[in-house]
Structure 1
Amino acid sequence: MDRWTWPAWVGVFGGLLVFAGLFLPAVVWQSRRYGRLSARRLLGTAALAVYGVALIAYTLLPLPSGDLAQWCAEHGVGGVQLHPLQFIADIRRDTAGLGLRSTLTSVAVLQVVFNVLLFLPWGIFARGFAGWGVLRSTVTAALASLLIEVTQFTGIFGLIGCSYRLGDVDDLLTNTLGGLLGALVAPLVLRWMPRPAELVQDRGRARPVTALRRWLGMLVDVVAVSVLGAGLGIGWTLVGYALGDRTASAPEVLTGLLPVALVLWLPLLIGSGASLGQRAMWLEPRWSTGEGLARGNLPRRIIRGLCGAGGWGVLTLIHGAGPALAAFVLITALAVPFTRGRRGPSCALTGAELVDARAVSPAVPRAAASTDR
């Protein structure tokens, strides 16, 4: 791979890794912001992650390594190019006496074209994906290019100790042009992409309770407990390092019990009693009453919690409960599609229904909630 292609591969593989980390937050954002999931916008998020990593790879990598002082002495770039349109004179000089084909394929010309193409996706994503106007898309492209040029010129704001790439005002101009052209063609290139304003208009409409929504809600609960536990553990370790204790390990009550209590048990006591993941997917448990469906009392909520996410959390705290935990997760997940209304074992065992939160009020007739099964 040459210097033109290896950053693209970094963008593809690195971007997909970034998207994997952003997938669940993107799902939760879509669900709460738009009221539903959009596969096309998730695809756009993946493409945006690939482009973002590729942009960094093309403009900032590779970084100097080894003895930075020696590297700067041998390879450091001095000064900055502040003459607008200097690239025109450079092209004339480098292509003097060449034919049309040789001129168009010269490094001087390709460098300018590449700088325009590099920011073309910026304008496309800004207008076609984020829904910004042409002016905002172009201005943000200019600001991003300026940040890149400053980062290069300052050696990542002094971390390297010298300019490791030439700061060039022509790069700023051509990058901005690319952002403008991308914004202009975005309606054609991304005409298949739903706009945020279009999705928000339908946000309040109740939708069927599907197995996918249930599984995503479960995944949100699991990841939230894991991330909170890891974050508290890292924070405890950093505090220990700051206080001079390099051997301190976070207590299990902090990394295990507290996340389970905050993420899985506290929501049972608040509002509808839905778990964090269920709230992210607009889901609520309801129990049958003489007047319809209503929120359950505290004993019902606790029992449902033990049969669902709360029970999973308890099992994670018990040493040696690995087989039981695996069986619990497997049964809970696989049973969802086979239970009425996709309510799952926890609701089925406690007599609850799982409904779309937008279709219900504190007590609603059965007919109003039946559309969500």
Structure 2
Amino acid sequence: MHRPFLEQPEYRDGHRRQDGAAGLIGHRSRFPSIVGRRCDSATGSLRIVGAEYTAWNSGRTSRSGRSTSARSSVPGIGPSGWQTPLVDSRVELGVIAVFAGLLVGAVLFVPFVALSYRRRGRLSLGRLALFVAALVYFWALWAYTLLPLPDPQTLVCAGTNTDPLAFVDDLWGAWSNIGSPTAFLRDTAVLQLALNVLLFVPLGFFVRALGGRGILVAIAAGFATSLFVELAQLTGMWGAYDCAYRVFDVDDLLTNTVGAALGSLLALVVPRGLSDPSADVDPGAPRPVTVPRRLLAMLCDWLGYTLTTFAVAVAVRAYLIYLADDRATAVEGPVSTIIGGSVTLAVWLLVILTTGRSPGDHVVRLRYVGGSMPVAVSRLLRFLAGIGGYGLLDLLPEEWSILVTIFAGVAVVTALFTRNGRGLPGVLNRQELVDSRALPQPAVEVDSTTRT
């Protein structure tokens, strides 16, 4: 498992080293094979680990109480300027995780809302927040365990630890050489163990809070995820590198799995309504039609239109570049965007003409009813007063883009200030907006002879 400046630099020549000049700790090494293939001639330490050792050791006191600042006189070990690159790299990984989570969240938002309405009858803000947090955690887990990838030209092969429970010896050795509880809690072996446990606590938490699964599933998920990460590191990202670029540690399988189990227990405090889809009385029961629900339908339509248009445009552009060998048209012209938007609008029009509801309406289970216009006309107006009008204006040349903004503004304002959020389609069609689950079932025809 990846352990930035907490563990790897301590191991050299098959031994765990103390800070300063206190010598070697008298317990067995966790990583007897940590020695890399190339070493830095100036320091005698592993080249790729030396910078992390500088970061971890700079400004720290030894277990004997002596300062380690004397190391600044050794070439390649001094503390100057290490903080910013290391901190920045971890901040960058965090930013990558957040943006990747939000991007994937946007792609999966519509399916998540649809699933919530089918399984729970509604969408709650609490469950939506859990969903977004889980996506950010997912990317953070991979970013902090597998990134950044090293330069193959300067790669130093990492070692392995296949001795289960070797961390017990590390903890005992740290306590024996420190003695002070406060200093013991700050020791790298203790911090590494705690961080490896904490890293997988969210995994077990989300397994129960979002998936509704118990501790056994959380343990299995934690072990499987940890094993995947460890094998990716051991195999050099599945053969992308000639050897392991981070330490494979069998103890991480245990500590990560323990973290997932603790997270599952922690999720027991989550209200049942957030973690158990069956907590609602009846997902098929009608719900009140509100303005936020209508706005949610509009958001689903817009997201679906935007993502589908983008996907089709990318496919068209790839065809023009790689199959039609027409890079100029693909890069400079609006052909791909026009085709993408047109295909998406055709799909939305087909859905509305055949069902009377947009995909967004289907997702949140809404329907327009009433009105005196013919069905075909009212459904066409439903398309033009919704995402259809937005999309058609969006296909106009760029100098007309202000019309798209005006149309979107009018659509949102009318949804905010009309009854039940029926918005522009309801106003033009003189229709009301209802929960599709509240519609009466088709009447059964009765034989005329039974009528009185």
TM-score range, shorter chain: 0.7 to 0.9
Contact 2:119 2:277 in 1 (8 A): no
1:196-215 paired onto structure 2 within 5 Å:
196-199=276-279, 201-215=281-295
Is the counterpart of residue 138 in structure 1 residue 225 in structure 2?
A: no
The Cα shift of 1:251 comes to: 4.1
Is the counterpart of residue 57 in structure 1 residue 140 in structure 2?
A: no
2:352 alignment partner in structure 1: 268
Contact 1:138 1:179 in 2 (8 A): yes
User: What is the rounded CA distance, in whole Å, between the counterparts of 2:208 and 2:248 in structure 1?
Assistant: 27
User: What is the rounded CA distance, in whole Å, between the counterparts of 1:284 and 1:354 in structure 2?
Assistant: 6
Aligned residue among 86, 95, 105 for 1:22: 105
1:290-369 paired onto structure 2 within 5 Å:
297-319=375-397, 320-361=399-440
Change beyond 3 A, Cα 1:50–1:251: closer
Contact 2:317 2:336 in 1 (8 A): no
Contact 1:12 1:50 in 2 (8 A): no
User: What is the rounded CA distance, in whole Å, between the counterparts of 2:400 and 2:442 in structure 1?
Assistant: 39
Change beyond 3 A, Cα 1:333–1:43: same
Deviates more, 1:195-204 or 1:2-11: 2-11
Q: Secondary structure at the match of 1:156?
A: helix
Q: Deviations over 1:38-92 (max 9, x none)?
A: 1111121232233223322331222213xx1x222xx2214x3222112223334
User: What is the rounded CA distance, in whole Å, between the counterparts of 1:214 and 1:95 in structure 2?
Assistant: 61
1:187 alignment partner in structure 2: 268
Name stretches of at least 5 consecutive residues in structure 1 with no aligned partner. Answer: 290-294, 365-373
Deviates more, 1:162-171 or 1:231-240: 231-240
The Cα shift of 1:166 comes to: 0.9
Contact 1:11 1:50 in 2 (8 A): no
User: What is the rounded CA distance, in whole Å, between the counterparts of 2:261 and 2:402 in structure 1?
Assistant: 57
User: What is the rounded CA distance, in whole Å, between the counterparts of 1:10 and 1:138 in structure 2?
Assistant: 26
Is the counterpart of residue 280 in structure 1 residue 363 in structure 2?
A: yes
Q: Secondary structure at the match of 1:321?
A: helix
Is the counterpart of residue 227 in structure 1 residue 307 in structure 2?
A: yes
User: What is the rounded CA distance, in whole Å, between the counterparts of 2:188 and 2:354 in structure 1?
Assistant: 64
Q: Deviations over 1:5-46 (max 9, x none)?
A: 964774467326523641533334323432211111112123
1:173 alignment partner in structure 2: 254
Aligned residue among 193, 196, 220 for 1:115: 196
Q: What is the identity, as a one-letter code, of the residue corresponding to 2:376? A: L
Q: What is the identity, as a one-letter code, of the residue corresponding to 1:350? A: N
2:125 alignment partner in structure 1: 39
The Cα shift of 1:158 comes to: 1.8
Contact 1:19 1:45 in 2 (8 A): no
Q: What is the identity, as a one-letter code, of the residue corresponding to 1:268? A: I
Q: What is the identity, as a one-letter code, of the residue corresponding to 2:256? A: N
Count of matched residue pairs: 350
Q: Secondary structure at the match of 1:84?
A: coil
User: What is the rounded CA distance, in whole Å, between the counterparts of 1:35 and 1:112 in structure 2?
Assistant: 42
Change beyond 3 A, Cα 1:244–1:275: closer
Change beyond 3 A, Cα 1:185–1:306: closer
Q: Deviations over 1:277-306 (max 9, x none)?
A: 1111111111257xxxxx962122113322
Q: Secondary structure at the match of 1:285?
A: strand
Change beyond 3 A, Cα 1:104–1:310: closer
The Cα shift of 1:322 comes to: 2.2
Q: What is the identity, as a one-letter code, of the residue corresponding to 1:120? A: V
The Cα shift of 1:154 comes to: 1.4
User: What is the rounded CA distance, in whole Å, between the counterparts of 1:165 and 1:246 in structure 2?
Assistant: 44
Q: Secondary structure at the match of 2:287?
A: coil
User: What is the rounded CA distance, in whole Å, between the counterparts of 1:9 and 1:200 in structure 2?
Assistant: 41
User: What is the rounded CA distance, in whole Å, between the counterparts of 1:192 and 1:8 in structure 2?
Assistant: 35
1:254 alignment partner in structure 2: 339
2:316 alignment partner in structure 1: 236
User: What is the rounded CA distance, in whole Å, between the counterparts of 2:223 and 2:197 in structure 1?
Assistant: 12
Contact 1:217 1:277 in 2 (8 A): yes
User: What is the rounded CA distance, in whole Å, between the counterparts of 1:308 and 1:46 in structure 2?
Assistant: 28
User: What is the rounded CA distance, in whole Å, between the counterparts of 1:179 and 1:100 in structure 2?
Assistant: 30
Contact 2:273 2:279 in 1 (8 A): no
TM-score (norm 2): 0.70
Q: What is the identity, as a one-letter code, of the residue corresponding to 2:379? A: R
User: What is the rounded CA distance, in whole Å, between the counterparts of 1:132 and 1:111 in structure 2?
Assistant: 28
Deviates more, 1:200-209 or 1:116-125: 200-209
User: What is the rounded CA distance, in whole Å, between the counterparts of 2:253 and 2:132 in structure 1?
Assistant: 26
Change beyond 3 A, Cα 1:323–1:109: closer
Deviates more, 1:9-18 or 1:302-311: 9-18
Q: Which has the larger radius of gyration?
A: 2
Q: What is the identity, as a one-letter code, of the residue corresponding to 2:315? A: G
User: What is the rounded CA distance, in whole Å, between the counterparts of 1:332 and 1:19 in structure 2?
Assistant: 26
Contact 2:98 2:140 in 1 (8 A): yes
2:6 alignment partner in structure 1: none
